[in-house]
């Protein structure tokens, strides 16, 4: 593995998660992102109350993302082999936390009408 290319990353992620699950996650991420952009454009401002609730959900998203990857890859925390594994898992946790915050904020905004808070 000399070069890190986009095609190689796709192949690795498809191998880890399976093609169906990987592309389902990509589609879900795109849909949530489009909905989030729609909410931001529609509301023209950030609701700080919804933002706070979204931030409070971040630890749950971080734990869920790490748990999900461990479950899908049939791994255990004891299988971590070195610093790079810890860095990867921290990245997974951060991505899960941010993704959950965006999902929660978007869901709140779509389910409840825009508030002045």
Per-residue pLDDT of the chain (117 residues; tens, 9 = 90+): 678 889 998 998 898 888 999 999 999 999 999 999 999 999 888 888 899 999 999 999 999 999 999 998 888 888 888 888 889 999 999 999 999 999 999 999 999 865 554
Nearest partner of 109 among 37, 20, 18, 5, judged by Cα: 37
Q: How far apart are CA 18 and CA 56, in angstroms?
A: 31
Would 15 be classed as within a structural domain? no
Cβ–Cβ under 8 Å, residues 107 and 35:
no
Predicted structure pTM score: 0.82
Q: Which domain holds residue 54?
A: 29-111
CB 114 within 8 A of CB 47: yes
Domain count, the chain: 1
81 falls within a domain: yes
Please indicate, yes or no, if residue 99 is contained in any of the structural domains: yes
Assess if residue 21 is contained within a domain: no
In a domain, 14, yes or no: no
43 within some domain: yes
């Amino acid at each position: 593995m000399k070069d890190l290319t986009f095609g190689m990353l796709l192949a690795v992620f498809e191998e880890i998660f399976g093609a169906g699950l990987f592309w389902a996650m990509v589609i879900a991420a795109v849909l949530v992102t489009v909905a989030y952009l729609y909410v931001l454009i529609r509301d023209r401002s950030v609701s700080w109350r919804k933002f706070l609730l979204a931030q409070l959900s971040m630890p749950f998203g971080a734990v869920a993302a790490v748990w999900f990857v461990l479950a899908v890859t049939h791994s255990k925390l004891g299988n971590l082999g070195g610093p790079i594994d810890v860095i990867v898992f921290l990245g997974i946790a951060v991505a899960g936390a941010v993704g959950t915050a965006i999902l929660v904020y978007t869901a709140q905004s779509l389910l409840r009408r825009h508030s002045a808070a």
